[in-house]
Chains A and B, each alone.
Chain A
Amino acid sequence: MKRTLKAEETFFRILMNLTTGFIFIILGIIIYSVFEKGMKAMSWEMLTSVPSGGYYYGKGGGILNAIVGSLVLAFGATILAFLIGLPVALYMNVFLVRRKKLVNLIRFILDLIWGVPSIVYGAFGFTLMVFIGLQTSLLAGIITVTLFILPIMIRSMDEILRTVPMGLSEATYSLGSNKSELAFKIFTRQSVSGIITAVLLSFGRAIGDAASVLFTAGYTDNLPNSLMEPVATLPLSIFFQLASPVPEVQARAYASALVLTIIILIVSLFSRGLGKRYHKTKINF
């Protein structure tokens, strides 16, 4: 009996090590190839100028339009989703605390729409634009990406707010606080680092998605200058450059991918750091 248990343990340990190693290797190859191919085409010009005429045939210029466009679009969508998402998550955890079935239903629905592919959001956004008479524009992109990241935002904040201990609510109520004070003064403060992590996670999703902005934000070689004009994004710039038959342009696609990867890496590291801080400052029981 003891021997079989030990054999079992060894077997699963090896299996786990193998699978973990496999994932690391795949990830390593992806990052390596992006760096390796991207660095070749990377130049100061790439980062600081917009595409000049003939850029897509291998002539001069850069992807500043896509870098700035992606940042503006992702910032806009993240702020909008935060403004909608935080009150929803607070409402679920403070006001609906007695209606557990309803809250669980909301969670289930949010989890479902979290899983909807982003191209569906793109198509929905496009339908919505036609309905309200909006052209492909930064605004339309922001609205669509907001819808896309909203379930992610709400659910990740919800998971943080759920961990607020009941005793803290009881203590706050017993001082004579009402529900809004409990929500906005106590729950938000107790979960502040977790909320920031949720925001950064959503930002990462917003900046990396191509399908939802394909029909809605459009593409342009100019820097964004109006909410009503189309805007370029990094994922689409990768897509268009990679689709080019010119090898130099294809190499630039990797450089664009490198920029996107680095942005997401910075955001992830940032949110990790905050997550750690959150654990440190948690109430010690």
Chain B
Amino acid sequence: METAIRIKDLNVFAGKTQILHDINVEIPKNKITVILGPSGCGKTTLLKCMNRLTDLYPELKVSGEILINDKNIFDPGADISKLRQSMGLLSQRPYPLPMTIYNNIAYALKLRGVRGRRKQSILVMDYLKQANLYEEVRKRLREPASRLSIGQQQRLCLARGLAVNPDIILADEPTSALDPISSRFIDEKFQEIKPHFTIVVVTHVLRQARRIADNVIFMYMGEVVEQGSASEFFENPKEEKTKSYLEGMFN
């Protein structure tokens, strides 16, 4: 099994509090890896380390290595824009850009280097169709994206994330704010596209993890308790903490 992201001795401090302790994980390529754990265990921080969004928060001090294609993303010479472009991000709440529905995706395409209006317009339609949004917004492509419903906005963000042509998709509880239909669509979409993408999903919903995970990283209090294939994890957990979590002892 090929590894897409290799994290070595990652420690993150917020001021004097340590949020992540010696994280060592491997995330397999073209699979869905679920980072599971109770609220406040550092799942989101771990996810944000991967595309260096942690840079935006002055209080966070990060040490260790994250290797993608054998290159450490924390190297001083690393091209952060390119790194982030290789990962689509789906956050907890959708954040459409303050522009039209069409331009939300066209903006991503421009950043990717797609030139020419015709080419852009074909691709915009294509990504909207991929996100199962095209039929709903076909007649209102020039309206501000903020007028869409939350579920539609999240699908627009998915389309936008795919439009930068990433290798990896990072999703931070992408369905927690959504209605059941949009949620199911996102879960199913991940299953559908995983042969082409490495997908990392943060969640604290056990049912969702069972439904979509190929690989699980279980975190508790800033540490990785257990990691491995989903079948192994759910049917034959090794650690006591995992067992009690799966039995619903804490959360």
Contacts and interface: CB of A to CB of B under 8 A. Distances in A.
Q: A and B bound?
A: yes
Interface of A: 97-100, 165-178, 181, 185-186, 189-190, 192, 281-285
Contact of B91 (A97, A98, A171, A285): A171
B51 interface: yes
B164 to A, nearest CB: 5
Interface in B78-98: 81-82, 84-85, 87-89, 91-93, 95-98
Interface stretch (B107-115, B117-125, B213-221, B233-241): B107-115
Interface of B: 48, 51, 53, 55-58, 81-82, 84-85, 87-89, 91-93, 95-99, 107-108, 111-112, 144, 146, 150, 157, 160-161, 164, 170
A164 to B, nearest CB: 9
Contact of B93 (A167, A185, A281): A167
Given A174-B88, A178-B81, A283 B146 contact: yes
A173 B56 contact: yes
Contact of B87 (A166, A171, A174, A285): A174
A162 to B, nearest CB: 15
A171 B157 CA distance: 9
10 contacts: A167-B93, A168-B95, A171-B95, A175-B85, A175-B107, A176-B164, A189-B97, A189-B99, A284-B146, A285-B150
A190 to B, nearest CB: 4
A197 B236 CA distance: 61
Given A166-B56, A175-B107, A189 B146 contact: no
A98 B95 contact: no
Given A98-B56, A99-B58, A281-B144, A175 B96 contact: no
A75 B153 CA distance: 40
Given A171-B91, A175-B85, A281 B146 contact: yes
Contact of B95 (A170, A185, A192): A170
Most buried by B among A98, A174, A181, A282: A174
B251 to A, nearest CB: 24
B17 to A, nearest CB: 18
Nearest to A166: B56
Given A98-B58, A178-B81, A170 B111 contact: no
Contacts of B95: 165, 167-168, 170-171, 283
Given A98-B56, A175-B160, A189 B84 contact: no
